[in-house]
Chain A
Amino acid sequence: MPINVNVYGSDWVNDLHSTAKSTNASLYSYVIDGVIPPDTLPDASPCYCGMQSDNYLINAMVCRADKTFFPLFKNDKSVNAWFLMRNYASPAGAPENLNVSGYPSINRFAKWDMVTDLPYYYSEYSNHFIFNLKLNKLLFVPYVICSATGTYSADLSTYTLAAYEAAEHISKPYINGVYMQVYYNNGTDEQPEWTAARYSTDDYIFTAPIAELSEDVQNKSDKYVITFSLISSTVGRGNIPIMGFGETPSRNLSDSGSIYNPIGLDPDTTHYIYDNDETPANIKYCRPYSESAIEDIWKQIAYYGVFFLGAGAGSWDNVSLTSDRVFCGTIETDGITKGNYTRGADNGDQQQYTWDDTSSSPYDPTKEVDPNKYNGVMNINVMSDIETVTNRYSLSSLSYSQLSGKLWEIMADIPADTTPTEYALDVFLTTNPIDNIVSLKYFPLVDDPNYGTGVHVHLGSYDTNISAYKAKTVVQHQCGRIKIFPQFNDWRDYETEIMLYLPFCGTISIDPKIYMNRWLYVDYVIDIITGNCAAAVYVYADNGNKMIVEIANGNCSIDLPITGIEQVTLQGQMYNATEQMKQLRVNNDISELSLATGLMGAMSSGNVIGAASNLFNAAGTLMNNITAENIAEYEIQHMKVPVKMIGTTGSVTGLCMELYPTIIYIRPTTAGGFDISKYGHTVGFADCSPCVIGTKTGYAEITNVDLSGFNATEKEKQMIAAALASGVYL
């Protein structure tokens, strides 16, 4: 379709020129018909007419650099062929259908002279646009500039980890630029023949038949190519730059500027540093090779929504778009790309696969764009150890047995000149050493909860000389993963009950709708302070991020009782009892003396009755004292040993159960001998899909049939409808 001159004006090319040349032009101030309000990011596609990426870098770069095109394209999806090509002399061999007077350059916007006429931001960023491409006819091939001198490129698909580790790390150690070249299919969909879409091996711009020029454009004398890129191109004028780092000594340094924007990094801050003592003069920044770096490249290219050669080795001359070597940036339902991609056969399900060209995109710039990024992640955090006023020790079984014995002899070291109470208070801050023990727990853990070097167990300031380690606060353990694999590949998989048994935490239900065909992971987090354990059950969401779906809690520790004598109390009691005994004996002696003295006194005075009375009284007292003495002695001999218990016996039942997380599948089943193929042939399987009847085969029950288009009688059509509904063999 021709360019809508009602939107852009009849002299749109010159209008673009004048606007772009204006040093006062800015995105936010340049408005056509109020299309873009000031200070509002445009929503129009940065890459194609009809697509938009939510990568802020792309949008930001486009906004800053291209201040003219977005307003124009915002509401008009009829834009067909937007090729602005530099007005150079046509080189030999220029395709006839291009009908241009010069070869195009992707580095520059306009007919202006490269350096002097362009506003500075153009020379720095050189953003371009590709419009209305026949995407299912194009294969984008990424190349990586990966040598120390920046001149060597590797086909991204062959720049594999294996190749890198084998040999490439010597000659191609770093990624300092990524670009794409475009290839056009000169063959068929089944047997493509990829042809470089550019004039020459000097990498000059790709050209038609990537996009067809409308007559309107063709008639213009000034023609320009617009392509889009994140950065300026110093990698050859026939390429689409994806990302780059610093300056390279490769081509076009002087005339293209060298503004790079490393993927995922703030352009003003962090850059990867060239990791080599011999820093080449022209290399300032690069990215070390890693699988994550390659994945970042894939993601960035995927934002363009194109089919690109991502992986695999060897010749790709005839790879199809559904080859496993080919990736495709996916477009969300609102027409936005988010850096996701498919690969191989799944590419055939992408909408670009059947588009006529990019104007077939469903993207509607007038619709509100979903502002959500849907890139949330749920992490399990790794905690550092918490310091507390208590000490937690990790003991082996040997140390534990030593501890048990130690508690019974802990007061044996009392200095001779110190009372037990004074000693206890001084060493333990309490009169009972056992009060220093807060708890003793048993943890049946595979992972030792130790950290640091070995220590001795201390009670207060008392060194028990028992070997131990400091105990961690938290222990985390990954139990691995299990794939919830479909058994039937039909609705029966979703009638399957799935349960997940988690040791110490119980059993949870697993919803097949969430987990089917996904890997299910279980991680345990164990609180060493309290013994609480939490089992986190998670999967990876479609955006590749971890998603915790269930958390089950329990307690995996066993409280163990600690017994020990209350040493000081006991000794105190014995001391008091002994002293009491002594006093009683003294008292008894006095009593006896009193008795004798009283009697003598009474008899001396001739007071027989008084003497007798005194005698009885004294004798009574004596008897009482003797009784008390006997009681005291009895009590000493039969003194209760004061015992204290710390904690209560915890449940060991959990420890007696299965210790491995276990998935339990309860699957539907049919009677023995059930032949599913016969069932399908005689009863059929539930379908509920609209269809053209001739596309079905075998047994089918079809209702709501539109029997228009042939001349049967009404009665016959009723008979046909009835027959189809009751089941026919097609």
Chain B
Amino acid sequence: MTITLYNVSESPNCLTKTLSSGVQRTAVPVEPCDFLTPTFIIDSANKGYNYCVAGEPLNRSYFINNTSLLTGQRAAISCSVDVLGTYAADIKNCVGLCLRTETAPTYIPDSKFPMLTNKRQIVLDNFESTPFTLNPSYPYILTTIGGDT
């Protein structure tokens, strides 16, 4: 079977990996070949990769978890399937409920947000006018009974 070996730098939970400078090689799957966690025998000169894409019949993308050196300048690469990378295009078309997003904060209260409980920012703002003054011009109101004014 043909596999293409890559070195990817993205996080494993990244949906799409940047696959560049791939090296295509013939790989012999070790029996029994598990679709999800296969092991391939390859030419050991091609060791040092961390990702591969397997063609038919697997048609999947894999993380290379471990490389074991064998005799005859061969290496055994143990892989686990990258479901995100394999089905990236299909996943993007799926509908789900987004609980958290990197897009700007929303108006949904966020219980994970590290707000301090022992500290608050306190600021003041005065209104521009007040009806009160310490120096009124006519401060005294005298109320009297009746009579002329």
- Of the listed residues A395, A676, A687, the one surrounded by the most CB atoms of chain B closer than 10 A to its CB is A687
- Which of A214-222, A610-618, A661-669 contacts the other chain? A661-669
Tell me if B20 is interfacial: C-beta within 8 Å of chain A: no
**Is A712's CB under 8 angstroms from B83's CB?**
yes
Residues of A within 8 A of B87 (CB): 710, 712, 716, 720
- A217 CA / B26 CA spacing, docked (Å): 72
Tell me if A119 is interfacial: C-beta within 8 Å of chain B: no
**Is B121's CB under 8 angstroms from A392's CB?**
no
**Is A480's CB under 8 angstroms from B99's CB?**
no
Pick 23 A–B contacts, CB within 8 A, sort by A: A390-B145, A395-B139, A396-B139, A399-B140, A400-B139, A435-B145, A436-B147, A437-B144, A440-B143, A442-B140, A449-B138, A489-B105, A661-B127, A665-B122, A680-B101, A685-B103, A686-B111, A689-B98, A691-B97, A707-B94, A723-B84, A729-B10, A730-B15
For the complex with contacts A667-B121, A669-B120, A701-B101, 4 further pairs of A-B residues with Cβ separation under 8 Å are A480-B129, A489-B104, A522-B127, A688-B108
Q: From residue 419 to 458 of chain A, which have CB atoms closer than 8 A to chain B?
A: 429, 435-450, 455-458
Residues of A within 8 A of B128 (CB): 479-480
Partner of A705 from the list B96, B109, B127 (CB cut-off 8 Å) is B96
- A660 CA / B148 CA spacing, docked (Å): 38
Question: How far apart are B26's CB and chain A's nearest CB, in angstroms?
Answer: 25
- A307 CA / B115 CA spacing, docked (Å): 45
- Of the listed residues B11, B115, B122, B140, the one surrounded by the most CB atoms of chain A closer than 10 A to its CB is B140
Partner of B134 from the list A659, A692, A694, A704 (CB cut-off 8 Å) is A659
- A692 CA / B91 CA spacing, docked (Å): 9
**Is B106's CB under 8 angstroms from A687's CB?**
yes
Tell me if A649 is interfacial: C-beta within 8 Å of chain B: no
**Is B96's CB under 8 angstroms from A704's CB?**
yes
- Of the listed residues B14, B121, B141, B149, the one surrounded by the most CB atoms of chain A closer than 10 A to its CB is B141
Residues of A within 8 A of B99 (CB): 684, 686-688, 701-703, 725
Tell me if B116 is interfacial: C-beta within 8 Å of chain A: yes
- A480 CA / B128 CA spacing, docked (Å): 6
Residue of A nearest to B146 (CB): A389
Question: How far apart are A454's CB and chain B's nearest CB, in angstroms?
Answer: 11
- A697 CA / B15 CA spacing, docked (Å): 10
Tell me if A719 is interfacial: C-beta within 8 Å of chain B: yes
Partner of B131 from the list A460, A526, A666 (CB cut-off 8 Å) is A526
- A524 CA / B133 CA spacing, docked (Å): 14
A713-B35, A720-B83, A727-B13 known; A690 and B95 CB under 8 Å?
yes
Tell me if B136 is interfacial: C-beta within 8 Å of chain A: yes
Partner of B13 from the list A475, A667, A723 (CB cut-off 8 Å) is A723
- A256 CA / B10 CA spacing, docked (Å): 76
- A436 CA / B131 CA spacing, docked (Å): 30
Residues of A within 8 A of B100 (CB): 683-687, 699-701, 727
- Which of A308-316, A320-328, A362-370, A465-473 contacts the other chain? A465-473
- Of the listed residues B129, B130, B133, the one surrounded by the most CB atoms of chain A closer than 10 A to its CB is B130
**Is B110's CB under 8 angstroms from A446's CB?**
no
Residues of B within 8 A of A457 (CB): 142, 144
Residues of B within 8 A of A470 (CB): 149
- Which of A96-104, A228-236, A279-287, A491-499 contacts the other chain? A491-499
Tell me if A277 is interfacial: C-beta within 8 Å of chain B: no
- Of the listed residues B15, B116, B138, B142, the one surrounded by the most CB atoms of chain A closer than 10 A to its CB is B142
Residues of B within 8 A of A666 (CB): 120-122
- Of the listed residues A399, A458, A533, the one surrounded by the most CB atoms of chain B closer than 10 A to its CB is A458
**Is A460's CB under 8 angstroms from B145's CB?**
yes
Tell me if A588 is interfacial: C-beta within 8 Å of chain B: no
- A661 CA / B126 CA spacing, docked (Å): 6
Binary flags per residue of B66-101, CB closer than 8 Å to A gives 1, else 0: 000000000000000101101100111111111111
**Is A394's CB under 8 angstroms from B140's CB?**
yes
Partner of B142 from the list A393, A655, A661, A704 (CB cut-off 8 Å) is A393
Q: Point out residues on B near A: beta carbons under 8 Å.
A: 10-11, 13-16, 35-36, 81, 83-84, 86-87, 90-116, 119-134, 136-149
Residue of B nearest to A725 (CB): B99
Interface size, chain A (Cβ < 8 Å): 128
- A119 CA / B121 CA spacing, docked (Å): 73
**Is B98's CB under 8 angstroms from A391's CB?**
no
A503-B130, A685-B106 known; A694 and B93 CB under 8 Å?
yes
**Is B90's CB under 8 angstroms from A686's CB?**
no
Question: How far apart are A406's CB and chain B's nearest CB, in angstroms?
Answer: 11
Q: Point out residues on A near B: beta carbons under 8 Å.
A: 389-397, 399-400, 403, 429, 435-450, 455-463, 468-471, 475, 477-482, 488-492, 494-495, 497, 503-504, 522, 524, 526, 528-529, 533, 556-557, 560, 655, 659-671, 674, 676, 679-681, 683-694, 696-710, 712-713, 715-716, 719-720, 723-730
- A311 CA / B128 CA spacing, docked (Å): 32
Residues of A within 8 A of B126 (CB): 660-663
Residue of A nearest to B100 (CB): A684
Question: How far apart are B143's CB and chain A's nearest CB, in angstroms?
Answer: 4
Question: How far apart are B24's CB and chain A's nearest CB, in angstroms?
Answer: 24
Partner of B136 from the list A399, A436, A446 (CB cut-off 8 Å) is A446
A389-B145, A700-B98, A710-B90 known; A397 and B139 CB under 8 Å?
yes
A491-B107, A686-B99 known; A396 and B137 CB under 8 Å?
yes
**Is B127's CB under 8 angstroms from A504's CB?**
no
Question: How far apart are B141's CB and chain A's nearest CB, in angstroms?
Answer: 5
Partner of A479 from the list B36, B120, B130, B144 (CB cut-off 8 Å) is B130
Residues of B within 8 A of A529 (CB): 143
Residues of B within 8 A of A481 (CB): 127
- A474 CA / B148 CA spacing, docked (Å): 22
A461-B147, A688-B108 known; A661 and B103 CB under 8 Å?
no
Residue of B nearest to A462 (CB): B147
Residues of B within 8 A of A447 (CB): 131
A480-B129, A491-B108, A693-B92 known; A702 and B97 CB under 8 Å?
yes
Residues of A within 8 A of B98 (CB): 687-691, 696, 700-702
- A429 CA / B83 CA spacing, docked (Å): 103
Residues of A within 8 A of B139 (CB): 395-397, 400, 442-445
**Is B102's CB under 8 angstroms from A693's CB?**
no
- A595 CA / B130 CA spacing, docked (Å): 82
- A694 CA / B95 CA spacing, docked (Å): 9
**Is B143's CB under 8 angstroms from A665's CB?**
no
- A478 CA / B129 CA spacing, docked (Å): 7
**Is B106's CB under 8 angstroms from A557's CB?**
no
Residues of A within 8 A of B129 (CB): 446, 477-480, 660
Residues of B within 8 A of A468 (CB): 142
- A435 CA / B98 CA spacing, docked (Å): 78
- A549 CA / B56 CA spacing, docked (Å): 70
**Is A685's CB under 8 angstroms from B105's CB?**
yes
Residues of B within 8 A of A560 (CB): 140
Partner of A706 from the list B95, B131, B132, B145 (CB cut-off 8 Å) is B95
Residue of B nearest to A674 (CB): B114
**Is A720's CB under 8 angstroms from B91's CB?**
yes
- A470 CA / B101 CA spacing, docked (Å): 67
**Is A392's CB under 8 angstroms from B124's CB?**
no
**Is B115's CB under 8 angstroms from A700's CB?**
no
Residues of A within 8 A of B102 (CB): 680-681, 684-685, 697-700
Residue of B nearest to A394 (CB): B138
Question: How far apart are A542's CB and chain B's nearest CB, in angstroms?
Answer: 18
A446-B133, A494-B107 known; A703 and B96 CB under 8 Å?
yes
- A597 CA / B132 CA spacing, docked (Å): 81
- A723 CA / B12 CA spacing, docked (Å): 10
Residue of B nearest to A671 (CB): B116
Question: How far apart are B118's CB and chain A's nearest CB, in angstroms?
Answer: 10
**Is A393's CB under 8 angstroms from B141's CB?**
yes
- A668 CA / B122 CA spacing, docked (Å): 9
Residue of A nearest to B101 (CB): A687
Question: How far apart are A182's CB and chain B's nearest CB, in angstroms?
Answer: 39
